[in-house]
Structure 1
């Protein structure tokens, strides 16, 4: 994991934690949340580019089936959330999305901690 990859992941974690706080205490600030998610997506593109430049056979990171399924559900939930922001319709209580931000931040921390290279 190169230095920019780590920096982008740390920045994403900070953004997600800030978005969770804003979503919980100030759900009426939809613009702040939308801009934060846009920055999150841009950083995700940077992370994917950094991963693309690494040697895939050198990286040793395997998910369990449970976490792969949980990650799939959170990606779907995140897409529903972003479409909610873009098209201005409410599916769930806005405070419920706080848990989405916290889960993604925790998963990012877990991946950062367990991202290693094969020996």
Structure 2
């Protein structure tokens, strides 16, 4: 998946039509990686204190933005007007709120 992302990213420098595919492949890549992380967290012993883990909150924030953004990036060239952009903007704000909440809520690991 990373190689597909790099191919579309490089192609976007030469042809601007590929920029939409870069967003789609990037969101799919982030979604798969976050699901793999959450699966690993679910199978580990750290699941007991998941609310105190910063990576949990960051992954939830990324899921909140990237999974609903895939349809936006998929149909971007077909949208004549940009009436749905406030939904995408609100997803960005919600993702940042979740990550900020995770920064405040999570406990620090002090290692010496």
TM-score normalised by the chain length of structure 1: 0.41
| Larger RCO (CA under 8 A, 6+ residues apart) | 1
Q: Which structure has the highest helix share of the two?
A: 2
- Give TM-score, length-normalised by structure 2: 0.43
| Structure number, greater radius of gyration | 2
